[in-house]
Structure 1
Amino acid sequence: MNGTLKRAAVACLLMFGLLMVNVTYLGAVKAEDYRGDSRNQRSFFARYSVDRGWITADDGNTTLAKTVDTGGDYRFERQYPDGKMYAHVLGFFAPESSRGVELSAGKYLDGSHPDLLVRRAIEFISNEPPKGASVDLTIVPRAQKVAYDALRASGKRGAVVAMNPKTGAVQVMVSVPTYDPNVLVEPNKAKVATAFNKMVADEQDPLLNRAVDKTYPPGSTFKVVTAAAFLEDDPSRTPETQVDAPQVLDLPQTTVGLPNYGGAACGGGQVSLRYALERSCNTPFAKFGMELGWDKMREQAAKFGAGEPLPFTLPVAKSDIGPEEELAALAQLSIGQRNNQMTPLQMLLVAAGIANGGEVMTPYLVHKIVDPDDGVMDETQPKPMSEAVSAETAAKLKDMMVSVVQAGTGTGAQIPNVSVAGKTGTAEAGDAPAPHAWFIGFAPADDPEVAICVFIEAGSAGTGATGGGTAAPLARDVMQAVLQAK
């Protein structure tokens, strides 16, 4: 009898143990899967029971995303007053997913962040609806509108991204074509899925944030990086150093030479480094790259942030100069072609690092987090990311980039009574019949308050698109808007 009881007791204990293991597994390991399961109606309703925090700019004076109490079954509704203009920054808060700042700052916005747990407990006891914190962004609304209107009105595809080079605060981030996030927030899974799938199928790719999601050949804007490596390699070099500038550069192990843009001559075969950058001559910079070698070119690009994912509020595609190949490939990547692939945000950091005396600041979008009682919970402090070049090299590069805008290919970026530094780029885009057009720069050159990168995608501005004629004037307008907003 005792043996039978013992066996029964052991069996009960084993079953109880298995039950506890299963409960722990379901509650801890699989909880997130069940919470996100599309069949979980409780989770679906819960997403709309929170008075989600607002997203603002300009110290809370401009509303970018807000929550409205409908009083219905799906009580709190998300709205984006200027949705299309800010879509790629904000993302969206959909029935089952989110992206952009709505995702990266989601725990603050929905009140589930550990810093808000006391408040959530008070709300639970008082039976009040949960309320999230608000997120204030670094975006300058006036400049954002200028960039958005300029890209949209012209029918161009591309991106504009600008930042304060001294702090890393992103002032503008626009990508066009865009989409309306308001059609993705309705508490109707079927309708939202249909709208989202339509966007995915659109050949214009409106969901793509061209500022950070994809890399492109940077063209001649990368000559600034090559010039940086050339100057860092020998501190005695200056903007007036004479360099070889043949009309066509012979490339090793190939019968194909590398010409200047349009086959043009660059001076008389030997010019100053300043002149080579002003006129965006290909042959001197291609020669620099081959002489410096892969390691030095890769190291210089890495100091500006290329080669690793950038630390940022939103995910960023990795920029890179590509794998080591023959010297002919090195010559081509040194002028921003071949396997050289950069995001507009990465090329912005090149301009910003030079503007800031050689120090690249970590880019960020969130200015501060404000709790439901209007108290500041957190505020982003500027943080250096890397030292790309010495202060002396940065000064030399700045000097030459001012010449580019004053008398070179970047005159379209000139602002009355403001000194502007910049570099244009016109990049071949595979089999596309037209090139990408780029501009990077900053202003005022003597005390920079804004650095910028403008990228116009191949074919969207016609076959004659160039960095100087297409991208530089847009950069001028946006930089002017940022400066006027001060």
Structure 2
Amino acid sequence: MTRELRRLSLIMLAMFVALFGATSWIQVVQAGDLSENPLNKRALYDSFEVQRGSIIAGDTVIADSVPSDDVYAWQRQYADPQMWAPVTGYMNPLLNSLTGLEQSMNKELSGTANSQFLSRVDQIITGQPARGSNVLLTLDPAIQKAAFDALGTYQGAVVALEPKTGRVLAMVTSPSYDTNAMAVHNAQQVNETYDQLMNAAVNPLDNRAIDTLNPPGSTFKLVVVSAALASGKFTPDSTFPNPATYTLPGTSTSIRNFDGNTCGPGDQVTIATALRLSCNIPMAQLAVALGQDALRAEAEKYGFNNASIDIPLGVVTSAYPTGALSADKVALTGFGQGSVTATPLQMAMVAAGIANGGMVMKPRMVDRVVAPDLTVQETFTDTELGRALSSTDAATMTSLMISNVRDGAASGATIDGFDVAGKTGTAEHGPSDPYTLWFTGFAPANDPKVVVAVMVENGGGLGQSGTSNGIAAPIAKKVMEAVLSR
């Protein structure tokens, strides 16, 4: 071989290696970023050609790709779409639209995640068609169904957690929508459906479990009492004056307890009684005594003001005010009003931290990512968010919450044969606006298996006549019973 021919051969070989490396880099390493780029129309077209992975809860496939009978190869299909909509979301490449887990786990479902690097290489070498991996969830279909049925036509949300791990067992929201109607391959039809959903007064596209903020009402008293115990300055037997009305510090504004009376008999009332009867006045006084900084610090231990929480669905940040508050505004936060806002997931995390001996676990919805050949490509582990209170104080809080259900303001969550720990809450809005009704708690109290948070908007359809104990607590009871009966 002549020197020129040898040189030409080396140049051709180098060009081939460079071309092979570049295409491999694009197809394998950059695949995820390219598929996520909204300007990449090729990814839009190709998404119809990929058999997207399934989303699986327990032994139930709740989202999968089925052969299409039109010009596209695959179409997304959802089981029990109204029930699972807040979990799966929907996927429609015609609209370049992804929501729910279809969005947050898109790389895994489409086969372009970093954990699927070797699978992509194998597909390229063997010429196999591109295929996404399956996402296995923490959610339990039986518990999801119990929560869905219990919430019924009420406008609101239910979240169930496993307190020792943070695994989400159920997440439902109402009103919901048909995700299959958002997955059709007719752009005009799906646009009309989307416009109808967007224009609906009740906002069915909202995932009220993680996207909607409301004042948490008296469920926030759990955080206040937790802060009081953690301070070392108060015990459940610490007392406060027990008037029927209380003038907020520095103002002429008076507040009352829920029934307009004193918090039980006597001139003084203990913290334990105030929590059991869910009285506002002693909790307002306790909040002022603790101060904003102590309350905010305790709330943040439970997850408030934490913008990094995802499950992996993005979660709206629950908030305790960081800017300086006047004493009257601090008093309002003592019973979950004023500037305090929370999602149902957040209030489930508060109860879960107490149930788990004071340790708050980061909530999560995904267990594993599994390839079509059943190879486990990624495993999600339990993660501690942080300690909110000592195990001794957590045991004290549990005892107080048991009393709240056994002979207090949360008796609607009573379950025969089990001790239930819980707390109701009623959040006020405008003077004549319907209340938001809350419950958060866990069972069995001595060995918690499940934490449930319930939020019902619009007073459960009864305006200001709806009660948390009459509506929210019984919903939670049905969900807890579904777990305890397994």
| TM-score, structure 2 normalization | 0.89
1:281 aligned residue = 279
Listed as ranges, the gaps of 5+ residues in structure 2 are 1-25
**Aligned partner of 2:428: which letter?**
E
Which aligned pairs between 1:301-312 and structure 2 lie closer than 5 A? 301-309=299-307, 310-312=309-311
Q: Is the 8 A contact 1:429 1:458 kept in 2?
A: no
CA deviation after TM superposition for structure 1 residue 453, in Å = 0.5
Question: In 1, distance between residues paired with 2:456 and 2:423?
Answer: 14
Give 1:171-320 correspondences, 5 Å limit: 171-234=169-232, 237-267=234-264, 268-309=266-307, 310-320=309-319
Query: How do 1:32-111 and structure 2 match up within 5 A?
Result: 36-37=38-39, 40=41, 42-58=42-58, 61-70=59-68, 72-95=70-93, 96-111=96-111
| Structure 1 residues 132-183: Cα deviation after superposition (integer angstroms, max 9, x where no partner) | 110111111111111112222xx21000001000000000100100011101
For each residue in 1:178-232, what CA deviation from the matched residue of structure 2 results, as whole angstroms up to 9, or x when unmatched? Answer: 0111011122333222211221111110000111112100000001111111111
Pairing of 1:108-123 with structure 2 (within 5 A):
108-123=108-123
Matched residue, 1:468: 469
Deviations 1:321-344 (A, max 9, x none): 223221111101110001111111
**Does the 8 Å CA contact 2:133/2:370 hold for their aligned counterparts?**
yes
Distance in 2 of aligned mates of 1:34 and 1:255:
56
For residues 51 and 89 of structure 1, do their structure 2 counterparts lie closer, same or farther at Cα, with a shift above 3 Å needed?
same
SS in 1 for 2:71: coil
> Which amino acid is 2:150 matched to?
A
Distance 2:312 2:356 in 1: 21
Are 1:353 and 2:335 an aligned pair? Answer: no
Contact 1:432 1:458 in 2 (8 A): no
**SS of equivalent residue, structure 2 residue 158:** strand
* Distance change (3 Å), C-alpha of 1:260 and 1:172: same
Report sequence identity in percent.
Answer: 39
Q: After the TM superposition, which of the residue ranges 262-271 and 347-356 deviates more from structure 2? A: 262-271
Q: Deviations over 1:327-385 (max 9, x none)?
A: 11110111000111111111111000000011000100001111110122222211110
Q: How does 1:293-442 map to 2 (within 5 A)?
A: 293-309=291-307, 310-322=309-321, 323-430=323-430, 433-442=433-442
Does the alignment pair 1:137 with 2:134?
A: no
Taking a change above 3 Å as real, the CA distance of residues 43 and 355 of structure 1, as seen in their structure-2 partners, is same
Q: What residue number does 2:16 align with?
A: none
Question: Deviations along 1:36-87, whole A, 9 cap, x unmatched?
Answer: 349x3x43321111111111111xx111111112365311111001111010
SS in 1 for 2:445: coil
Distance in 1 separating the partners of 2:441 and 2:70: 50
Amino acid of the residue matched to residue 380 of structure 2?
T
Q: Give, in whole Å, the separation in 2 of the partners of 1:80 and 1:71.
A: 17
The two structures have a TM-score, normalised by structure 1, of: 0.89
Cα-Cα RMSD:
2.0
Q: Structure 2: how far apart are the matches of 1:469 and 1:135?
A: 38
Whole-Å Cα distance in 2 between the matches of residues 458 and 119 of structure 1? 50
Distance in 2 of aligned mates of 1:35 and 1:451:
39
- DSSP 3-state at the match of 2:357: coil
Q: Which amino acid aligns with 2:165?
A: T
Matched pairs, number = 451
User: SS of the counterpart of 2:173?
Assistant: strand
- Deviation per CA, 1:388-413: give whole Å up to 9, x if none: 11111111111000000000011110
Decide whether the 8 Å contact of 2:116 with 2:377 is kept in 1: no
Give the distance between the partners of 2:211 and 2:301, measured in 1 at CA: 21
- Please name the residue that 1:9 is paired with: none
Residues of 1 paired with 2:146 and 2:431: CA distance?
32
1:36 maps to amino acid: P
Contact 2:91–2:182 under 8 Å retained in 1: yes
Q: Secondary structure at the match of 1:389?
A: coil
Whichever residue aligns with residue 49 of structure 1, its letter is: E
Q: Which amino acid aligns with 2:219?
A: T
Partners of 1:416 and 1:107 in 2: CA distance: 46
Corresponding position of 2:23: none
Change in CA separation of 1:55 and 1:432 when aligned onto 2, cut-off 3 Å: farther
1:14 is aligned to: none
State the one-letter code of the partner of 1:411.
Answer: S
The residue type equivalent to 1:244 in the other structure is P
Amino acid at match of 1:265: T
Match for 2:246: what amino acid?
A: L
